[in-house]
Amino acid sequence: MSDGVKILLIEDDVCISEATSMFLEIAGYEIVPAFSCHEAVEKISAHNFDVIISDMFLPDGDCFSIMNKLLEKGDPVKKILVSGGTDRISANDAVNMGEAFFDASLLKPVKAVELKKTIENVLAA
């Protein structure tokens, strides 16, 4: 199921992004990283993705601005929110907020096996 699946991974923590990318690439997914809202919107404008995995809070905004771009584009991409919360909002509240816009939500830290299973589930839905 992972062959040919292109994923945009939006995560501002370089270490988390690299580790997640490495695991998902080994699992057979094509990963395109983005480290900010601006970079994610540029990549969404230029490419088509099967899945978008996004952190909620990024240095230049939040994932909802990215979701608005997807709505404008009319893109039916599957979306997974991954959040650890911040000092502004708890992780559980962040995940609850994301449920209206995302196909799945996960709390950080996310186990690699859990992320892979979530990707499989949203693609199968």
CA distance 55 to 52: 10
What digits encode the pLDDT tens for the residues 103-118?
998 888 899 999 999 9
Mean model confidence pLDDT for the chain: 87
The pTM assigned to this predicted structure is 0.88
Q: What is the pLDDT of residues 65-106, one digit of tens each?
A: 888 878 787 778 999 998 875 555 555 665 566 566 789 988
**Residue (of 42, 51, 73) closest to 120 by Cα position:** 51
Is 6-124 a CATH 3.40.50.880 domain?
no
In the chain, where are the structural domains located? 6-124
The predicted structure's pLDDT at residue 98: 58
Write out the two tokens for 45.
């404008």
